[in-house]
Amino acid sequence: MNYFNRLIISVTILTAMLNGVAYSQDSNKDPWTGKYPMSFFRRARSANTVGKDKLSIGLKYISYGADDIFVDGGYCDLPEESKFDKFMTVTTLKYGWAENHHIALGIPYTWVDFENSKKEIDSNGFANIFVFEKWKFLQETKICPAMAFDVWYFFPTGDTDEKLGNSDSSIRINTEISKAWKYMSAHLMPGYLWNIDGGVDVGLMDAALLVPLNKKFLLGLEYNYTNKDDKDMGDCHDILPGFIFKPFKGASIKLAAIINIDSDYKYRDEVGIAAKAFYKIAL
């Protein structure tokens, strides 16, 4: 089943759920309803928005170092004369301009150290700067999940040849579905990215489980699926076990390991690192 069919199935399920909500008479909320962060470790996000007249700033760090190379249908160790190390930071600002709406600006900066028998790259610079608008169109109740929808635009500020993002511009859409119970919350986020300039499109499916141990410490597990129809990339499945710590009101620190469980990308990092720091204020 290709990603387009998966996306159609997801939309069908969402429609069925919305129809069920329309006939539901139960709009009560539990004390834990909506008590989860807007985002998790790398890509997965919940249906929550930042809140009206609130501003947040987030700093994300991703570490990638290739261990293996895909050759003749399988992975083998990267040759000694080759390397592919990549580090990225993303600074994200979000502003709640209305109830259940926020806009965001993201600025990624990347460092690349790449070498093989044919090419050597030692570069750093901006990848694809992005903006997006998020709308939480359905509130969570005791029986119904919260749902949100966002639309992203990626500017052509990257450099494909230097492996600093992409030289093309892109549009991405996501749907976030979130449901909380007393001892855990679950989140699902299907998405799709269209390359406006005729390049490779990307299918995305992200999910997360979050278990609060107390008010300040939470355990989480994120799953990322990527489908990219490219000569050096195809399907990739990663899991990210990690934790979230809330040192004081409005602030959080997130740390997770990025563990590849299956891939047919040309280069593979078996274990990477994702870290985030977040702070929110009322204006």
Burial, 71: exposed, middle or buried (Cβ in 10 Å; 0-12, 13-18, 19+)? exposed
User: What is the structure's pLDDT at 66?
Assistant: 75
- Residue 104: which residues within 8 A CB-CB, separation 6 or more? 92, 93, 94, 95, 131, 132, 133, 134
Whole-number average pLDDT of the chain: 85
- 151 bridge partner residues: 133, 173
The domain 34-282 is placed in CATH, from the list 1.20.1050.10, 3.40.50.12280, 3.40.120.10, 2.40.160.40, at 2.40.160.40
The 3 state secondary structure assigned to 209-259 is EEEECCCCEEEEEEEEEEEEEECCEEEEEEEEEEEEECCCCCEEEEEEEEE
pLDDT at residue 224, rounded to an integer: 95
pLDDT surpasses 90 at 162: no
Who has greater pLDDT, 122 or 240?
A: 240
Query: How far apart are alpha carbons 201 and 190 in whole angstroms?
Result: 14
- Say what the pTM is: 0.85
Higher pLDDT, 3 or 186: 186
pLDDT-based confidence at residue 200 (cuts at 50, 70, 90):
confident
More confident residue, 274 or 268: 274
pLDDT digits (tens, 9 = 90+) for 57-74: 999 999 987 777 777 777
Q: Is 73 left (phi over 0), alpha (psi -120 to 50) or beta?
A: left
Q: Indicate if the pLDDT at residue 154 is higher than 70.
A: yes
78, with CB counted inside 10 A (0-12, 13-18, 19+), is: middle
Question: Which pLDDT score is estimated for 47?
Answer: 94
How many residues belong to the chain? 283
Give the pLDDT confidence of 228-264 residue by residue, as tens digits.
866 556 788 999 999 999 999 999 999 999 998 887 7
Return the closest-CA partner of residue 242 out of 214, 270, 272, 269: 272
What confidence tier does 141 reach under pLDDT thresholds 50, 70, 90?
confident
The model's pLDDT over 16-38, given as tens digits with 9 standing for 90+, comes to: 555 455 444 455 677 778 889 99
CA angle 204, 266, 122 (to 5 degrees): 100
Print burial letters for 196-215: b (CB count within 10 Å at least 16), e (below 16): eeeeebbbbbbbbebebeee
**The pLDDT value given to residue 20:** 53
pLDDT at 150 over 50: yes
Are residues 117 and 107 in contact, defined by beta-carbon separation less than 8 angstroms? no
* Domain residue ranges in the chain: 34-282
The torsion angles phi and psi of 149, rounded to 5 degrees, stand at -140, 135
pLDDT band, residue 206 (cuts 50/70/90)? very high
Q: What is the pLDDT of residue 220?
A: 96
151 vs 232, residue with greater confidence: 151
Helix, strand or coil for residue 22? helix
